[in-house]
Amino acid sequence: MTKTSPPHKIIGVAVIWNDLGQILIDRRLPEGVMGGLWEFPGGKIEPGETVEDCIKREIHEEIGIEIEVGEHLTTIDHTYTHLRVTLTVHHCRHLTGIPQPIECAEIRWVNLDELEQFEFPQANFQIIQVLRQSV
């Protein structure tokens, strides 16, 4: 028997900073695999879309705010049992709008040192490590 590889999703991820130096995280809806876990917001890159355009679009659709996509932070390849993801992560800056949980259960502004209090999917821990090293 040959083992089939899990589906692969390429995802643009935003580490959104506000003027107080806090980061925006959101809690996934409770249904589905990894439901209820916290994450850095973002979403699947559509065909013909740049990572930066994807991040702006996803943040507007999911949280209802406008952001400026800044420098690339890291790219992470992670394979779960059911899914392989490539996370392309960018620093972003909150420009306008009040964050709303449009396509997530909850949103919260947190300080970098508070991130360990939240339960994230495995691939997100690598983002947190890189953030700690880069600040």
Q: Binding site for Mg(2+): what residues are annotated? A: 42, 62
CA distance to 80, 88, 129, per residue, from 73 (Å)? 22, 8, 11
CB 109 within 8 A of CB 20: yes
Give the amino acid at 97. G
| 46 Cβ neighbours under 8 A, 6+ residues apart | 54
Residues tagged in the binding site annotation: 28, 39-42, 62, 124
Residues marked as binding for 8-oxo-dGTP?
A: 28, 39-42, 124
DSSP secondary structure letter of residue 132: H
